[in-house]
Structure 1
Amino acid sequence: MNYRHIFHAGNPADVMKHAVMALILDHLRVKPAPFCVLDTHAGIGRYDLTSEAAQKTLEYENGVGRLFGAHAPHPSLTPYLDAVAAINPDGVLRAYPGSPRIARAALRPQDRLVLGELHPDDAHALRREFRDDPQVAVHEIDAYVALKAHLPPKEKRGLVLIDPPFEQPDEFSRMVEGLAAAHRRWPTGVYALWYPIKERAAVWRFQEAVEKTGIAKILLAELTWHPEDTHLRLNGSGLLIVNPPWRLDETLKETLAALHAVLPTTGGGVSVTWLAPEA
């Protein structure tokens, strides 16, 4: 639990992940029935971009900094950009919304947000961030225990975000096992699993392992900003989405292409493909 996201908050990987997350939640809002969001690696909710840590890396400048205050490069990015603007009401980019804040911005009065965070300090910060908010529950809990403890939700609709820091060498395997167990408990939920794109072979092994679970209707969305296997810290960002909303694949092709055109890149591109079709 040594990973501190403040150094990376608002970078291109965050932008891609949170833009897609906001878009999925926007789809869930179309129907009046309530939904639940379970965020298994919640972090602290918001990040101070003026802090010493964020200023040390300035990663946000090549991510959200390329979008904030400008016209949305694609209409589908509006829910995400609205969430960023909401915590920067004076029009100056000082804070970045983590996934809990992205989710909270999408909730209607009938919806609910469950946040899991294992790091004691971060869990405390989350409780402070959402104090007196009856629609948000914060639990200091291991992510994969949270999948067992909180699924299926009473709402019967919703999104599970699994977004590990990848501190553990077996994180890909843990994600596969966690997804398989969660899907058995709640097969109709939408699941979004974020993964870093560094070495392509590791990503292939992860995707093949998920495919072998037999889970149907799995979409892969990737945005890369460097050529494959350049051995840099991070070449790109991927999301494996189970039960994606209708026509999300078509929307993501345009959304991610618009992001790739705005973000600083030395190559890479966009890929939206089906790992497993609908059964």
Structure 2
Amino acid sequence: MFSYRHAFHAGNHADVLKHTVLIAMLHHLTQKEAALTVLDTHAGAGLYRLDSEFTETSGEAADGIQRLLKPTEGMTLAPALQDYLDLVASFNSKGNWRIYPGSPFIIQRLLRGHDKLKLFELHPTDTKTLMANVEQLEAGRQVAVLREDGFEGIRKFLPPPARRALVLCDPSYELKNDYARVAAMATEALKRFPTGTYAIWYPIIPRPEAHDLPRKLKTLATKAGKSWLHATLTVKSSKLVADVQGETKRPGLPASGMFVINPTHTLKPALQAALPQMVTLLAQDRHAAFTLDAGG
């Protein structure tokens, strides 16, 4: 249960998609004066070093955010991608990309003084690290770290006092029942707070549950009469490949998606400009592609 560590994957192509979506929505949501409550169901450690043993072992950042640092000649990055890069750069000294902020620090950087952030994390090591990292923010009561199951823990914060909330849900999906728990969480959350914005990340892998989840979420949103947006980013084929010894193995995460219920109206045009550039810059083979659908 506690084997997953996001430090191995920090800054990969899935983070590029997830955090670009997150930042684009927060820029819009924080324009209204009323307080915003953000709930992060699987917060992780909060900050990651791109030169750590974990990230250097996986090398995933090299095929993720670091590719955005060298755009194709003549390419001007889409505003949403540039906002993403600028925010990550704000955690680093000029020209030195050693720190990658996870969703807790991305969110907190964009919140205003009267907004609230609730961070849920169960991994004992990551919880301890997250608490230590958050203490450095000196954010007082704005940020709360809770060593609780985020699927269950968000219930007590919905609806929020000011009736404005963004829920980010991005479990590891190491456990097969995470897919069902995500759908159940979204169902109950919509009943508790129908006007909240719910952003759900998921891996696109050769597993039936991974392909069923966005369909279930679309059905849920449609039945509830809510708008929705579904973006996917594929960087390579999901077929088995042979390593140098001739043994077959899966090529790592080939694709991921973001499904958002009650998205901001600015999100679709932002992604229409950003997703084609993600494909161009992050493609690892000819199977790279994106999809963008919306309804409601």
Classify the TM-score, shorter chain.
Answer: over 0.9
Q: Percent identity?
A: 37
Aligned with 1:239 (options 258, 269, 292)? 258
1:229 Cα offset (Å): 5.4
Output aligned runs, 1:80-95, within 5 Å.
80-95=84-99
The match for 2:126 is 122
Deviation readout 1:31-53 (Å, 9 max, x if unpaired): 22221111000001100111111
Aligned with 1:158 (options 154, 165, 169)? 165
Aligned with 1:217 (options 212, 219, 227)? 227
* Matches of 2:70 and 2:219, distance apart in 1: 44
Match of 2:112, as an amino acid? R
The match for 1:148 is 155
* Matches of 2:30 and 2:57, distance apart in 1: 38
The answer to whether residue 196 in structure 2 is matched with residue 189 in structure 1 is yes
* Matches of 2:288 and 2:238, distance apart in 1: 7
* Matches of 2:257 and 2:153, distance apart in 1: 22
Q: Which secondary structure state, in structure 2, belongs to the residue aligned with residue 30 of structure 1?
A: coil
* Matches of 1:68 and 1:104, distance apart in 2: 24
Structure 1's 212 and 20: CA in aligned 2 closer, same or farther, altered over 3 A? closer
Deviation readout 1:70-96 (Å, 9 max, x if unpaired): 786111223322221111124211111
Q: Which secondary structure state, in structure 2, belongs to the residue aligned with residue 38 of structure 1?
A: strand
Aligned with 1:133 (options 116, 136, 139)? 139
Deviation readout 1:218-265 (Å, 9 max, x if unpaired): 211111112465653322110010000114222212111111111132
Structure 1's 34 and 69: CA in aligned 2 closer, same or farther, altered over 3 A? farther
* Matches of 1:142 and 1:176, distance apart in 2: 15
Q: Which secondary structure state, in structure 2, belongs to the residue aligned with residue 166 of structure 1?
A: coil
* Matches of 1:235 and 1:10, distance apart in 2: 15
Moved more, 15-24 or 142-151: 142-151
Provide the alpha-carbon RMSD of the alignment. Answer: 1.9
Structure 1's 59 and 27: CA in aligned 2 closer, same or farther, altered over 3 A? same
The match for 2:210 is 203
* Matches of 1:228 and 1:90, distance apart in 2: 36
Is the contact made by 1:228 and 1:268 (CA closer than 8 Å) also made in structure 2? no
Is the contact made by 1:74 and 1:255 (CA closer than 8 Å) also made in structure 2? yes
Is the contact made by 1:38 and 1:160 (CA closer than 8 Å) also made in structure 2? yes
1:54 Cα offset (Å): 1.1
Is the contact made by 2:36 and 2:162 (CA closer than 8 Å) also made in structure 1? yes
Structure 1's 262 and 204: CA in aligned 2 closer, same or farther, altered over 3 A? same
* Matches of 2:271 and 2:31, distance apart in 1: 18
* Matches of 1:208 and 1:74, distance apart in 2: 29
Runs of 5+ in structure 2 lacking a partner?
241-249
Aligned with 2:269 (options 229, 245, 250)? 250
Moved more, 4-13 or 252-261: 252-261
Is the contact made by 1:68 and 1:93 (CA closer than 8 Å) also made in structure 2? no
Is the contact made by 2:43 and 2:121 (CA closer than 8 Å) also made in structure 1? yes
* Matches of 1:110 and 1:156, distance apart in 2: 14
The answer to whether residue 278 in structure 2 is matched with residue 259 in structure 1 is yes
TM-score normalised by L of structure 1: 0.92
Q: Which secondary structure state, in structure 2, belongs to the residue aligned with residue 130 of structure 1?
A: helix
Aligned residues: 276
* Matches of 2:32 and 2:82, distance apart in 1: 19
Structure 1's 97 and 147: CA in aligned 2 closer, same or farther, altered over 3 A? same
Structure 1's 6 and 72: CA in aligned 2 closer, same or farther, altered over 3 A? farther
Structure 1's 226 and 69: CA in aligned 2 closer, same or farther, altered over 3 A? closer
Structure 1's 100 and 59: CA in aligned 2 closer, same or farther, altered over 3 A? same
The answer to whether residue 80 in structure 2 is matched with residue 76 in structure 1 is yes
